[in-house]
Amino acid sequence: MNPGNMSSLPAKPVWKVSGSVLPITLILLVVIALLGVATTNSSKIQTLIAKNSQLKQMSFQHSETAIGVGEATWSSTVSACLMNMAECTTDIAPVVLEVTPSEAAFWANAAAVGSYGKYVIEYLGFRPIPGNEDRFLRVYRVTGEATDSTATSRTQIQSIIRICVKADSLPCANT
């Protein structure tokens, strides 16, 4: 081969280009984009789950506050006359309602607690204590309901208050 003679060089290029780099790069780019979208969607779902859990916890805390206020109200009125060995002449609690807490009529006499909660105190009546003919349980139920600050989560909880009384409606001695 003579360097001065150009006609003796091969006519084909040294590298054989097949054009596969561009399709492979595009496929990798699409796969990476799909992984990014999937990760973002998963992150959004986890954020919504965490927010829902936080709102549920908030509504539960508000309903616990409503129950606490209801029990304190009961304690300052009904239990005051019972503990002073006097017969109660007034009772803040209506007789048990014939509706469930999911019905609007149940909450007609509810007392509001803050802007998110409410409570109802019900008098459930006397229950005999087995084996003691002269002693009864005077039973009250406090139902509290509350929502979170966005009103998307609602929680209802109840507590039962039992007071031992004798047949004459005076409290039982601590025996």
Are the CB atoms for 153 and 59 separated by under 8 Å? Answer: yes
Residue 56 burial by Cβ neighbours in a 10 Å radius (0-12, 13-18, 19+): middle
| CB crowding 74-86: b at 16 or more within 10 Å, else e | beeebbebbeeee
pLDDT tens for the chain, residues 1 to 175 = 555 555 565 556 656 666 788 888 999 999 999 998 888 888 999 999 999 999 999 999 989 988 888 888 887 776 666 655 455 544 555 555 555 666 666 666 677 777 778 888 888 877 888 888 788 888 888 888 888 888 888 899 999 988 887 777 677 765 4
Enumerate the domain spans of the chain: 22-166
Q: Model-level pTM?
A: 0.64
Token code pair at residue 146 = 């509350």
